[in-house]
Amino acid sequence: MERFLAVVDADPKAAFAGLVGMVCLAAWPLFRRRSTMLVTYIGNNLAFAVHYGLLHHWTAVAMNGVMGVQTVAAIWLVRWPWLRWLYYALVPALGAASLATWHGLPSVFAATATALSTIGRMQRNEIVLRTLLLASTPCWTLHDLLVGSLPGLAADLLSMTTGAAMLLRRLSSPSTAIPETGDQS
C-alpha cells in the first residue's frame, strides 16, 4: 500500500486524472444504452491515458488512446456500419503500439485487456459486450498492481463489482439487445 501512496504523492496530477478515469470506469456498467456505456468508456480511456502518461507507462497510454478512437468508431457503427473498417484498421495499431512500448508483464496485461475490450465494444449483444469488457478488468488489475497505480486498481475493482452486478441483473432479464434510444441511461 505504501508503494501506491508514494505514486499518488509523487504526482497528484496523475492521481487526479486516474480518479476521473476511475469514476468513468466504475460508472459505465450502470448505464443501459450502448451509446451511453461507450461514451462513458471514452472518458475512462482519455483520463487513464493522461494518468499513465504522467506516470510514464507508455503501453497503457497507447492502449487507452487507441481504445478511445475505437470506441468513438464503435458508437457510430450502429448508424454507419462502414465505420467498421476504421475500427478493424486500428487493431494492428494496438499490436504495433504494444511492441513499440514494450515493458514486460505490464505490457502483456495492458495489451490483453485491450484485446478483450476491443472485441467487446464491437458487440451488439449487450450480454456479450458486458462480459468481454468485464473480462478485461482482471488484466488491467494485474497491470495496475505491477505499475503501482492506486486509481487504476480502485477503478478495476469498482468496475468488476458494478460490471458483475449489472451483468447478473441483465442475465436475469429477458432482453439481451442493447437499447439505443428510448431507454433511460
What are 63-99's pLDDT values in tens digits? 999 989 988 888 888 788 888 888 888 889 999 999 9
- Over range 110-120, report the average pLDDT: 92
Instruction: Give yes or no for residue 49 having a pLDDT over 70.
Output: yes
- Region for residue 66 given its phi and psi (left: phi exceeds 0; alpha: psi -120 to 50; beta: otherwise): alpha
Instruction: Give yes or no for residue 150 having a pLDDT over 80.
Output: yes
Q: Would you state the pLDDT for residue 125? A: 85
- Over range 60-64, report the average pLDDT: 95
pTM of the prediction?
A: 0.81
All 3 cell numbers of residue 185? Answer: 441511461
Q: Would you state the pLDDT for residue 81? A: 86
Instruction: Give yes or no for residue 181 having a pLDDT over 50.
Output: no
Burial class (CB in 10 A: 0-12, 13-18, 19+), 26: buried
Instruction: Give yes or no for residue 141 having a pLDDT over 60.
Output: yes
Q: Would you state the pLDDT for residue 185? A: 38
Residue 94 near residue 124, CB atoms below 8 Å = no
Name the phi and psi angles at 125, rounded to 5.
-85, 120
